Amino acid sequence: MKLGAFSVSLNVKDIHASKSFYETIGFSVFAGDIEHNYLIMKNGDSIIGLFQGMFEQNILTFNPGWDQSANTLESYDDVRTIQEHLKTNAVKLEKETDGSDSGPASLVFYDPDGNTILIDQHI
């Protein structure tokens, strides 16, 4: 299964302090809007999202159809295909996408330790 670009979405208390910290260790702003309390930061192929007040815990995020620079991939597994695979393998989904549509969609589920996994397709 091709899950696409990987990042960790961090629930931060102070986005300005977090931005400064991650810049200190070599990350730079890649996308987002600090005025809307979110930033996407990169260091090489490593991506983190900083989100203030948007969710309660950190999230493992995959973006089908994108590489680590948010370029569209020529070949990828659509989020609906991934959803079907997960359901076939008895993975309980917290949030599903309508299997009949196309384009952007997302789904959410948890690993055995309760870590949130977001499959978030933007194309």
- Asked if residue 99 has pLDDT above 80, the reply is no
- Asked if residue 64 has pLDDT above 90, the reply is yes
Retrieve residue 62's tokens.
């995959």
Separation of alpha carbons 123 and 113, rounded Å: 30
Instruction: Give the whole-number percent of the chain exceeding pLDDT 70.
Output: 100
Q: Which domains does the chain have, with CATH numbers?
A: 5-121 (3.10.180.10)
Separation of alpha carbons 111 and 9, rounded Å: 15
Separation of alpha carbons 3 and 65, rounded Å: 8
Residue 53 near residue 37 (C-beta atoms within 8 A): yes
* Residue 91 confidence (pLDDT): 98
* Residue 80 confidence (pLDDT): 96
Q: What is the pLDDT of residues 3-60, one digit of tens each?
A: 999 999 999 999 999 999 999 999 999 999 999 999 999 999 999 999 999 999 999 9
38 beta partners: 33, 51
Residue 4 near residue 66 (C-beta atoms within 8 A): yes
- Asked if residue 100 has pLDDT above 80, the reply is no
